[in-house]
Amino acid sequence: MSKKTANPPRRVPAKVPAPKRRKAPDELLKAVGARIREVRLERGLSQDQLAYAIPLDRAHVGLIESGKTAPTVRTLVKFAVALECEVGDLVPYVEDLLPYADWLED
């Protein structure tokens, strides 16, 4: 007769904390949002008109322009198409980004 052996206790892997992502400074998001707003106003569009052209919720456009949320690359491309400009036109000029250079070097 064979002896029944108990299953060894299962090892539960220790939880490894996810690496912390550095968040873009609020000022950087505000600078990007302000530049998007500037281009939109140069084109004579309201937030509603821009949101309709993308399509994207108008509230989301407002959050991006106010710097409360970061646009994805896909959203920046949609903005550029709707505003008939280059994606680079929606990003602040290098001189305006210099205060954030320490954050950008990582």
* 85-94 mean pLDDT: 90
Contacts (Cβ under 8 Å, ≥6 apart) of 65 = 33, 34, 36, 37, 40, 47
Q: Mean of the per-residue pLDDT values for the chain?
A: 83
Residue 22 in this model has a pLDDT that exceeds 60: no
Residue 61 in this model has a pLDDT that exceeds 90: yes
Residue 60 in this model has a pLDDT that exceeds 60: yes
Residue 69: φ, ψ to 5°: -145, 150
The structure's pTM equals 0.69
Choosing among 1.10.268.10, 1.10.260.40, 3.40.50.620, 1.20.200.10, the CATH entry for 26-88 is 1.10.260.40
Structural domain spans, the chain: 26-88
pLDDT at 15: 72
